[in-house]
Amino acid sequence: DIQMTQSPSSLSASVGDRVTITCRASQSISSSLNWYRQKPGKAPHLLIYAASILQSGVPSRFSGSGSGTDFTLTISSLQPEDFATYYCQESYLAPYTFGQGTKLEIK
């Protein structure tokens, strides 16, 4: 199975900050990488797919980049609703592994 490792596991930031979360795959996954945001008590919500394509309706402050094994999710200016947990997910090979999550907390 492909292993997905996110860093950091947790992060403290303030409204308006720019933050970056990284995701590393244990083997090359081309651009088969998705990012989700999960607010407490809610289902995950798709933000970005194919490493860099913004899902319809997702604010432009979210962006993604990378290919191969290294990927990043950047939020350009944090909003209150962005304090949540973020997951990357590979869709290159079953079992379509998710990263362990990055919890973004208010400083």
Residues 47-86 that bind other proteins (CB under 8 A): 49-50, 53, 55
Residue carrying structure tokens 């930031």: 13
User: Per CB under 8 A, which of residues 23..52 are in contact with other proteins?
Assistant: 29-34, 36, 38, 42-46, 49-50
Which CB, 36 or 83, lies closer to other proteins? Answer: 36
Complex with other proteins: residue 14 or 94, whichever CB lies closer: 94
Question: Least Å distance between CB 105 and other proteins?
Answer: 15
98 binds other proteins (CB under 8 A): yes
Check residue 101 for interaction with other proteins (CB under 8 A): yes
Cβ-contact 12, 103 below 8 angstroms:
no
Degrees (nearest 5) of the Cα angle 79, 84, 87? Answer: 120
* Min dist. Cβ of residue 69 to other proteins (A): 15
Distance CA 44, CA 97 (A): 15
Question: Can you say whether residue 24 is alpha, beta or left, with left for phi > 0 and alpha for psi between -120 and 50 degrees?
Answer: beta
